[in-house]
Amino acid sequence: MPFSVRQIHTTLWLVIGCSLVATALTIAQMFSLSKIVGRVFLAHGTLPQVMPLLFWLLAIVVVRALVIWGREVLARRGAVRVKVDLRQRLFAHLLRLGPAFCQGERTGELVATASEGIERLDPYISRYLPQIYLSVLAPLLILLFIFPLDWSSAVLLLITAPIIPLLMFLIGSYAEQHMQRQWLALSRMSAHFLDVIQGLTTIKLFGREMAERERIARISEGFRTKTMQVLRIAFLSGGVLEFMTTAAIGLVAVTLGIRLLNRGISFEDAFLVLLLAPEFYRPLRDLGTHRHAGMEGKASAQRIAELLETPLPVQSSATAEQRPEQPLTLTLTDLSYTYPDATASALQDVTLMLRPGTCTALVGRSGAGKSTLVNLLLRFLGAQGGSISVNGLPLAALPVEQWREYIALVPQRPYLFAGSVAANIRLARPNASFEEIERAAEQAGALEFIQRLPRGFETEIGEQGGRLSAGQLQRLALARAFLKDAPLLILDEPTSHLDPESEALFRRSLERLLPGRTALIIAHRYNTIANADQVAVLDAGRLVECGSPASLLASNSTFARLIESQREELPIL
């Protein structure tokens, strides 16, 4: 496993250490007990005679209880620490993988892995892993004690012991496949629930409730069947294990009884061996008990490791010797990108220049490659062919985080997190003062509506800004861009969901933001395109035209035909 290895090792060895001390104390406890029973029943000892032994026994019981308590505390603390660390690493890695990866995955499956999957590691780390070692070390310790006492019983224990792990291995390898399937079914079910919740409006509008209910029932039934299969195997292995250990202890007891009758062993020794026999098998039995939870944890650990090992699209290890000065000139040369598993290139040999103080409109039909180009600029994807340079410096040489400081992004649907309006704007610059946030809101034309909210800037807004209109959301996104004051501005058709009035308001604010910056706007509407300095037209991943809106419209260009087809579809344009 590539994660938290040091913490897992520390927890593991502490728990193993405590458990071995507890085993040694168990031996001492059984030893005292056999002595007391021998003295009372065979030597007819009185209470004062056995009193010191009784005190010893009491002391051992108390110390053993304390050691076991300490072991539990250490195990739980260790597991919690690993879980917290792992959750942070997973979250950080998903952040580095970026939206291009997360959108490709099913969000529900990722959520299930990051929550339930990590929780399942708790019994795996705190119980199952130490138990693997203990199932060998603890019986060996007991055996070392029994050997000088009664070697024939020790040999008997030694011969019967391997049968239990052998059986467990045989049942376990069969169970493991079922566990993997059960985990997959659970992840699918979570992913489906999330899909349904996110698409509730669509489902209701198309009257698909019944069909969805049946689908969920089908998926849940699949999960139930797989869980029952796993439980059946777990019960079967538990039963077999119980039977085998009872039979083995019975065998030791019978041989001891026969030898006791033949005076081949003293009562105290025979009694002590009999007391220790269940303790000898206990670690192996415990391994069987924890195996179910352990395998569940192993299945999740494999998925978590897979996610953590997913290579980053853009390595951020680059160290820049020079930082580009503002303003920025971006040069895209023969830029190409093909998605994994895709047959055609999403972008091919795109050469384009974005100059400071100008606005470039990126135009093209759906699937032409606009978002891919933006993702390459944002470095959520790494170019496979060609290059991007900033003021002559190769973009790849700049650390990703440093490069993103140069960019302000206004997406089509800005994401607002649960929190206050001020906190949502401050996201663009965490150390901004309240006055700066207020000024950014004013520049973005958002101040008026924010002041009308019940608690102004302190008003809590729901996830995705549920309580705000599309126009208000866009103005908050613009306020973030004003606050960030970045030299490169990327907008993804910011006015596509706005009514004409909100669009006009947004456009006026945007005009205040553009001067002096290098801007790229993914544009569908003619109104947005008409104000751009240059239009870059993409078609099936290739840059087919580039020029001013007026010159492209005047010629018989793809752009002119695109705009014409829009006019037919949308008479408003």
Ligand X SMILES: Nc1ncnc2c1ncn2[C@@H]1O[C@H](COP(=O)(O)OP(=O)(O)OP(=O)(O)O)[C@@H](O)[C@H]1O
Q: Which is nearer to ligand X, 205 or 342 (CB)?
A: 342
Secondary structure of residue 87 in the 3-state scheme? helix
Instruction: Indicate which single residue of 367, 382, 399, 411 sits in contact with ligand X (rule: CB under 6 A).
Output: 367
Residue 346 sits in the site that holds ligand X (CB under 6 A) = yes
Instruction: Indicate which single residue of 364, 414, 445, 487 sits in contact with ligand X (rule: CB under 6 A).
Output: 364
Residue 414 sits in the site that holds ligand X (CB under 6 A) = no
Residue 348 sits in the site that holds ligand X (CB under 6 A) = no
Q: Which is nearer to ligand X, 98 or 487 (CB)?
A: 98
Q: How many C-beta neighbours within 10 Å does residue 322 have?
A: 10
Residue 83 sits in the site that holds ligand X (CB under 6 A) = no
Residue 494 sits in the site that holds ligand X (CB under 6 A) = no
Q: Which stretch binds ligand X (CB under 6 A): 263-271, 283-291, 364-372, 478-486?
A: 364-372
Residue 372 sits in the site that holds ligand X (CB under 6 A) = yes
Q: What does the block give as tokens for 436? A: 């700066």
In the complex, least distance from residue 496 CB atom to ligand X, rounded to whole angstroms: 10
How far does Cα 163 stand from its chain's mean position? 39
Residue 368 sits in the site that holds ligand X (CB under 6 A) = yes
Residue 412 sits in the site that holds ligand X (CB under 6 A) = no
d(CA 436, CA 428): 11
Instruction: Indicate which single residue of 253, 339, 496, 531 sits in contact with ligand X (rule: CB under 6 A).
Output: 339
Number of amino acids touching ligand X (CB under 6 A) = 12
Q: Which is nearer to ligand X, 7 or 345 (CB)?
A: 345
Q: What does the block give as tokens for 155? A: 């040999």
Residue 261 sits in the site that holds ligand X (CB under 6 A) = no
In the complex, least distance from residue 373 CB atom to ligand X, rounded to whole angstroms: 7
DSSP codes, 289-334? HHHHHHHHHHHHHHHHHHHHHSPPSS------SSPPPSS--EEEEE
Secondary structure of residue 468 in the 3-state scheme? coil
Give start and end residues of each alpha helix (H) in 115-208. Answer: 118-119, 121-123, 129-149, 151-160, 163-198, 200-205
Q: How many C-beta neighbours within 10 Å does residue 337 have?
A: 22
∠ CA 243-249-250, rounded to 5°? 85
Q: Which is nearer to ligand X, 90 or 346 (CB)?
A: 346
Residue 371 sits in the site that holds ligand X (CB under 6 A) = yes
Place of tokens 């409109």: 361
Residue 256 exposed, middle or buried by CB count within 10 Å (0-12, 13-18, 19+): buried
Q: Which is nearer to ligand X, 104 or 264 (CB)?
A: 104
Residue 525 sits in the site that holds ligand X (CB under 6 A) = no
Beta strands across the sheet bearing 359-364: 407-410, 488-492, 518-522, 359-364, 534-539, 542-547
In the complex, least distance from residue 565 CB atom to ligand X, rounded to whole angstroms: 15
Q: Which is nearer to ligand X, 261 or 342 (CB)?
A: 342
Q: Which is nearer to ligand X, 285 or 370 (CB)?
A: 370
Residue 366 sits in the site that holds ligand X (CB under 6 A) = yes
Residue 384 sits in the site that holds ligand X (CB under 6 A) = no
Q: Which is nearer to ligand X, 262 or 366 (CB)?
A: 366
Instruction: Indicate which single residue of 369, 414, 445, 465 sits in contact with ligand X (rule: CB under 6 A).
Output: 369
Place of tokens 């990703």: 400
Residue 480 sits in the site that holds ligand X (CB under 6 A) = no
Looking at residue 465, the DSSP 8-state letter turns out to be G
Site for ligand X in 100-119 (CB under 6 A): 104
Looking at residue 466, the DSSP 8-state letter turns out to be T
Residue 550 sits in the site that holds ligand X (CB under 6 A) = no
Residue 370 sits in the site that holds ligand X (CB under 6 A) = yes
CA separation, residue 233 to residues 176, 300, 445 (Å): 10, 19, 64
In the complex, least distance from residue 368 CB atom to ligand X, rounded to whole angstroms: 4
In the complex, least distance from residue 543 CB atom to ligand X, rounded to whole angstroms: 12
Q: What does the block give as tokens for 56? A: 């010893």
Residue 173 sits in the site that holds ligand X (CB under 6 A) = no
Q: Which stretch binds ligand X (CB under 6 A): 46-54, 159-167, 188-196, 365-373?
A: 365-373
Spatial contact of 401 and 316, defined as CB atoms under 8 Å apart:
yes
Q: How many C-beta neighbours within 10 Å does residue 369 have?
A: 24
d(CA 164, CA 245): 8
Residue 343 sits in the site that holds ligand X (CB under 6 A) = no
The residues of the shown chain that bind ligand X, judged by CB under 6 A, are 104, 339, 342, 346, 364, 366-372
